[in-house]
Amino acid sequence: MNTNMNGRMVKHIAFSNGEMISPREGIKLKLSATHHGDHDEFWVVEFDNNKEVSRHNCKYLETITWSDTDV
């Protein structure tokens, strides 16, 4: 993963405890990849009707499955 992937759409994320989050009606998942001088940060951001409702730190995710589309 690198900061060039910022904005990439996510099909679903999975946590080590087996919990999964997937897009559904009105809900989208998108990667936020930013550089902060001496480090990069990666989050999967959950949007509900284009309003950010939560962020999931990628270092705590077991799996990220990328969407086929970036819309």
Closest C-alpha to 54, from 36, 25, 19, 28: 28
Q: What are the tens digits of pLDDT across the range 52-69?
A: 999 999 999 999 999 987
Q: What pLDDT does residue 68 have? A: 86
Q: What pLDDT does residue 69 have? A: 74
Domain range holding 52? 3-66
| Integer angstrom CA distances of residue 68 from 9, 12, 18 | 8, 12, 23
Is there a domain that residue 71 lies in? no
For residue 23, the SS3 value is: coil
Q: What pLDDT does residue 64 have? A: 97
Is there a domain that residue 45 lies in? yes
Is there a domain that residue 46 lies in? yes
Report the DSSP beta bridge partners of residue 42.
33
Q: Which residues contact 55 (CB under 8 A, 6 or more apart)?
A: 32, 43, 44, 45, 46
Domain count, the chain: 1
| Beta strands 10-15; 27-35: pairing state | unpaired
Q: What are the tens digits of pLDDT across the range 14-47?
A: 999 999 999 989 999 999 999 999 999 999 999 9
Determine if the pTM surpasses 0.85. Answer: yes
